[in-house]
Structure 1
Amino acid sequence: MNGSDEVREYPDWRVLVVGGASGMGKTGVARTLARRYGVPVVEVDDIVEALLAVTLPEHLPAVHFWRTHPEAARQAPESVVERQIAVAEALAPAIEAVVANHVGTDTPVVLEGDYVLPGLVRPGGPVRAVFLHEDDEEQVTANYLHREPEAGPQRHRARVSVLYGRWLAEQARTAAVPVVSPRPWENLADRVRSATDVRARARSES
């Protein structure tokens, strides 16, 4: 049964996190799940933009880094990944505040973005998460080419994405957060739901 055929179900979580590196399909599956559950989507990119608008680089240098050092995106992939991790760690308090607000006000939401870290999740609690990871650089390159054909093959960006994704996947597994392959795309939403929905897992195990 696909998402359009299912009866809308009230989630057994308050925040569903869809994390992972860029180019993994997070936005698409987050929107699909949001429609399925009848809840809004919060994009971490919007949190970043809000912080950039109300702070100066000296207040949050890591969050402002890509704007103050645009040339750094062309550095070796390993160096770019280190910067991405630093940004994610700097953003963690703001993301945690958004999550706590939705839990405290009992307003379910799907939260998606590159900079979400697995550490804010407690398995089985009101905050659930899944991290998407594609380890094939050629596939990630193809994903970018499909999404942004005018940019041509973005191989450096795909390499960065895979390396950062590996780091996130390792952190997720350490925190007992499920890591899911984006492919096959056709049933990704169902696989994410099964990985994060306690009731779905109970039904599948019965």
Structure 2
Amino acid sequence: MNERDWRVLLLGGASGTGKSRVSYPLARRYRVPIVEVDDLVLAVQRMTTPDQQPLVHYWDTHPDAAGLPVSRVVELQVAVAEALRPALEAVIGNHLETGTPVVIEGDYLLPALAAQDSFAGRPADGRVRAVFLHEPDAGQLVANYRHREPHEGEQHSRAQVSARYGDWLAARAAELGIPVVTARPWATTLRRVCALLDAPDGRTGTRG
């Protein structure tokens, strides 16, 4: 089994950047389970109402929101991520308490969350690592969506939002010293992520 110095690995990045492509082989490499943030979102939505958690339900209660200006959609994306932060802190804190390793991946992981010193009262003590994938080219994201969801057609607006949100995530991660890995070339993405994780300090060097 590959050695690791982390208990919880957060793999963040905007939609369409290849997180699933990396997260599953990454989990197999380190022989740990994986949690998708989208599943947590569904659980929170099922157990709450739009009145109780308006931001968590926002995209369902505002089906026309995708037509808003790109900057506004990105602001809402960040706001939803902040609303989900307590749930993510609880999950991370539980894994720190039980000592159970896990890879957590999703669009709603924020660099500020990854940089916390404690989670639900449990000290991180260097046991939480994070990597953010970044694809700045909206045209490439359109192609990614076309390959992944051919029945949805050309998703240009979604790609523009993802590119802008990805730029925001990458900038915030770099400010906090959290590694940012360019999604391409895909053939080496996993290797580059693992190289960062296998380094003595994954916060050293912010671009891969």
CA distance in 2, matches of 1:120, 1:75: 27
In structure 2, distance between residues paired with 1:110 and 1:140: 24
Deviation at 1:122, TM superposition (A): 4.3
Q: Aligned letter for 2:17?
A: M
For 2:47, which of 37, 50, 54 is the aligned residue?
Answer: 54
Aligned to 1:169: 170
TM-score (norm 2): 0.89
Does 21-30 or 68-77 show the bigger shift? 68-77
Unaligned runs of 5+ in 1: 1-7, 202-206
CA distance in 1, matches of 2:197, 2:114: 11
> How far apart in 2 are the matches of 1:175 and 1:156?
29
Give the TM-score normalised by structure 1.
Answer: 0.90
Asked if residue 83 in structure 1 is aligned to residue 84 in structure 2, the reply is no
Displaced runs of 4 or more, over 6 A? none
Question: Residue type of the partner of 1:181?
Answer: T
The CA deviation string for residues 110-169 of structure 1, in whole angstroms up to 9 with x for no partner, is 000000011233498101001011111111111111111111111100000000011111
Q: AA paired with 1:176?
A: G
The amino acid of 1:40's aligned partner reads P
Question: Does 1:127 pair with 2:128?
Answer: yes
Is the counterpart of residue 147 in structure 1 residue 135 in structure 2? no
Q: What is the correspondence of 1:66-105 to structure 2 with a 5 Å cutoff? A: 66-105=59-98
CA separation of 1:200/1:86 partners in 2, compared to 1, >3 Å: closer, same or farther? closer
Q: Secondary structure at the match of 1:29?
A: helix
Partners of 1:174 and 1:92 lie apart in 2 by: 20
What SS does structure 2 have at the residue aligned with 1:48? helix
Q: Distance in 1 between matches of 2:85 and 2:69?
A: 25
Report if the CA contact (8 A) 2:27-2:33 is conserved.
Answer: yes
Equivalent in the alignment of 2:179? 178
Letter in 2 for 1:103: L
Q: Counterpart of 2:206?
A: none
SS in 1 for 2:21: helix
Report SS of the residue matched to 2:56: helix
Matched residues in 2 for 1:9 and 1:196: separation?
Answer: 11
Give the distance between the partners of 1:140 and 1:172, measured in 2 at CA: 20
Alignment pair present for 1:23 and 2:33: no
Kept after mapping to 1: 8 A contact 2:80/2:108 = yes
Structure 1 residue identity aligned to 2:193? V
Question: Aligned pairs, how many?
Answer: 194
Q: Distance in 2 between matches of 1:56 and 1:200?
A: 42
Give the Å deviation of 1:11: 2.2
- Offset of residue 200 of structure 1: 8.5
Higher-helix-fraction structure:
1
Post-superposition CA distance 1:50-104 (Å, at most 9, x none): 0001011111111111111111122221111111011011111111111111111
Contact kept? 1:193, 1:200, Cα under 8 Å: no
One-letter amino acid of the counterpart of residue 11, structure 2: V
Q: Give the stretch that moved more between structures: 36-45 or 75-84.
A: 75-84
Structure 2 stretches lacking a partner, 5+ long: 117-124, 203-208
